[in-house]
Chains A and B, each alone.
Chain A
Amino acid sequence: MTADDNGLTWDLFAVAVSDGLVAVGAEVPAEGLGPQLHLVDDLGLDSFGVFAFAGELEVRLGRPVPPSDAEPTLANVYRLVGGGAIGGDGRG
């Protein structure tokens, strides 16, 4: 596990993601949250769901989620919010 300068690790991020998903009425996969998961294709959010989820994530992380053209995967969102390196085990 690698933390960035602001102390955000993948595990902390994943907890915030999980809470944020529940807050917008989405299901958290029983097998856990991996960086490859896509907010739309895998987690079932629509455009409004992504908008609302970003807001919930900002509140939980205490930092903004900047706009991006990148595919909305958890790995990309993690990078956007300044997360540190994701561990080599593929789940951070």
Chain B
Amino acid sequence: MDDTTYSPVRVGRHVTLRPLRPADYDTLHEIALFSDSGSRWRLHGGAPPVDQFVKLLFEGAPATFAMEANEDRRVIGMVQLWNYNPLNRNGHITAFIRPELRGRGWPLEGIFLFIDHAFPVFNLRKLYFESLDTELAQYGSLVGTFLRREATFREHQWSFGRLADVHVLALYEEDLPRLRRMAFPAARPRSADGVTA
């Protein structure tokens, strides 16, 4: 990586990761509350007004970033470090993405940019992904390849009329180089305007 490695603004091929601006709050509130994205995140059906949503967003989160599409500068979602424990060098990653972009693949670059930023900046050893069984289908192929299964809490969380299993997965520091090589390969074909990774 070059000397921009520790800049909080990270520009990928398709997505830019940057700290939140107050102007983003309404957009993120809209994405979180007017789709199922927030329920999959930390709202679980709650519908707080913008000011309470923003308070919840930053509570216990030392780093919260917007993910912006390079093509049209649209905010496509949010990713953050939550429940950070500097003594034990771990924390949780939480995120949500515009629902219409689910299954598109390319928005995940924003998540990978954040992971690449968070590990060295927060001196992380493990980054936890906590997921309901229904959400795990979104990135299940990461389990066993890059994410290690740490725990499963059976029928742990009440979610829309049923008790759902909660899976705790972790990305370990030593697995980060492999993830980087996959997410940011050195050589990729260039587009007409010369943009590459």
Contact = CB atoms under 8 A, between A and B. Distances in A.
A55 B182 contact: yes
Interface residues of B, number: 29
Interface of B: 13-14, 69-71, 100-109, 137-142, 182-183, 185, 188-191, 196
Centre residue among A25, A49, A58, A69 by max chain B CB count within 10 A: A69
A50 B97 CA distance: 15
A75 interface: no
A53 B189 CA distance: 14
B108 A58 contact: no
Contact of A40 (B103, B107, B183): B103
B103 A47 contact: yes
A55 B140 CA distance: 18
B106 A48 contact: no
Interface in A42-92: 45-55, 58-59, 61-64, 66-69, 72
B103 A39 contact: yes
Contacts, number: 75
B138 A46 contact: yes
Contacts of A66: 71, 191
Task: Name the 6 nearest CB pairs between A and B, nearest first.
Answer: A50-B105, A51-B105, A67-B106, A67-B14, A40-B103, A51-B108
A48 B142 contact: yes
20 contacts: A24-B141, A25-B141, A39-B103, A46-B141, A47-B102, A47-B139, A48-B108, A48-B138, A49-B105, A51-B106, A51-B109, A52-B105, A52-B141, A55-B182, A64-B190, A66-B71, A67-B106, A68-B106, A69-B100, A72-B103
